[in-house]
């Protein structure tokens, strides 16, 4: 097969080395499995805007998959006292979060009348059931045994979430890092039932206060603390944009998954993942 001369548009110089014969080579589309990916949008209605709704949620799930990939590795590195490596991963998570937040701007172009054209096709399916979002919450320390009831239909998935429920969170391993640095953390905060939601403790607060008052001495722990605050800040912004988009599109209707909708989303805005890191700001 004769190679075609492909031109660089800026200077009209032919690009002689560009590959055009892929009979026995892997293509970009094959590497990314685009046939599967781009044929995974199955519309249940004939409405034009259902495509927007599906793609926004599918891309959010892809971003969440990457968030979990980075959080898992960051937790492992912190446990191994490799904080610098963890910082890069946590910084990447914050950047991913900013991308997910911007997706709400796209979804908010969906008007109430447009959404009502296909909302009934969803049945009881809801973003509330996103198992990856639950895994992210578990990774950050917001544990809930009751929520696992939703996933009993899929035994493998249920077992995966059950395992995550009983593992230490990002904040748990960060507190362990404080102890390894010599701070007198209460033993109950270091070896506890990881399946229970985290409860703040004075020993942890005092340790973080010392870190912030002695930045030069504890620079790595100080940087870790700020990375954690970044994560929670971005997550709360994501929650807020979610709540406002839902309010804009469906008002105060109940969610398709049975939640109260906007009132539920407003309530979760009050939850804090890393409470001591927020409390010390008033005391510094």
25-37 pLDDT, tens digit per residue, is: 999 999 999 999 9
User: Which of 206 and 2 is assigned the larger pLDDT?
Assistant: 206
Q: 18-24, long-range: CB within 8 Å, 24+ apart, which pairs?
A: none
Tokens describing residue 168? 């230490």
pLDDT for the residue 16: 76
Is the predicted pLDDT of residue 119 greater than 50, yes or no?
Answer: yes
Tokens describing residue 184? 């007198």
Is the predicted pLDDT of residue 11 greater than 70, yes or no?
Answer: no
Is the predicted pLDDT of residue 9 greater than 80, yes or no?
Answer: no
Closest CA to 150 of 122, 131, 137: 131
Do residues 127 and 61 lie in contact, with contact meaning Cβ atoms separated by under 8 Å? no
User: Taking residues 235-259, what's their average pLDDT?
Assistant: 92
Return mean pLDDT, the chain. Answer: 93
The pLDDT tens digits for 55-69 are: 999 999 999 999 999
The CATH fold of domain 49-119+126-282: Methane Monooxygenase Hydroxylase; Chain G, domain 1 (1.20.58)
Is the predicted pLDDT of residue 72 greater than 90, yes or no?
Answer: yes
pLDDT for the residue 2: 47
Annotated binding-site residues for heme read: 242
Is the predicted pLDDT of residue 145 greater than 50, yes or no?
Answer: yes
Return all residues near 51 (Cβ < 8 A) that are at least 6 apart.
41, 43
Annotated binding-site residues for substrate read: 53-57, 115, 119, 256
- Which residue(s) pair with 5 in the sheet? none
Is the predicted pLDDT of residue 224 greater than 90, yes or no?
Answer: yes
The phi and psi torsions of 46 (rounded to 5 degrees) equal: -95, 15
Annotated binding-site residues read: 53-57, 115, 119, 242, 256
What span, in angstroms and rounded, lies between the C-alpha atoms of 225 and 220?
Answer: 9
* Residue spans per domain, the chain: 49-119+126-282
Q: How confident is the model at residue 6 (pLDDT cuts 50, 70, 90)?
A: low
């Amino acid at each position: 097969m004769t190679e075609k001369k492909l031109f660089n548009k800026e200077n009209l110089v032919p690009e002689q080395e560009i590959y055009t014969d892929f009979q026995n080579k892997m293509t970009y589309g094959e590497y990314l499995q685009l046939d599967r990916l781009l044929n995974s949008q199955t519309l249940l209605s004939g409405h034009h805007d259902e495509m927007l709704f599906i793609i926004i949620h599918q891309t959010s799930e892809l971003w969440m998959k990457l968030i979990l990939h980075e959080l898992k590795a960051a937790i492992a590195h912190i446990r191994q006292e490799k904080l610098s490596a963890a910082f890069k991963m946590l910084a990447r998570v914050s950047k991913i979060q900013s991308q997910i937040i911007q997706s709400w701007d796209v979804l908010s172009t969906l008007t109430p009348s447009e959404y009502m054209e296909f909302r009934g096709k969803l049945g009881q399916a809801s973003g509330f059931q996103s198992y990856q979002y639950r895994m992210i919450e578990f990774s950050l320390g917001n544990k809930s045994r009751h929520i696992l009831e939703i996933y009993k239909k899929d035994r493998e998935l249920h077992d995966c979430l059950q395992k995550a429920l009983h593992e230490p969170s990002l904040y748990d391993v960060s507190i362990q890092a404080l102890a390894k640095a010599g701070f007198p953390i209460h033993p109950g905060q270091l070896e506890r039932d990881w399946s229970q939601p985290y409860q703040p403790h004075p020993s942890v607060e005092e340790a973080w206060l010392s870190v912030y008052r002695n930045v030069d001495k504890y620079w790595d722990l100080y940087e870790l603390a700020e990375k954690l605050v970044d994560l929670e800040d971005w997550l709360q912004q994501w929650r807020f944009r979610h709540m406002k988009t839902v309010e804009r599109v469906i008002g105060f209707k109940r969610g398709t998954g049975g939640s109260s909708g906007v009132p539920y989303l407003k309530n979760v805005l009050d939850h804090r993942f890393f409470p001591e890191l927020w409390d010390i700001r008033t005391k510094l």
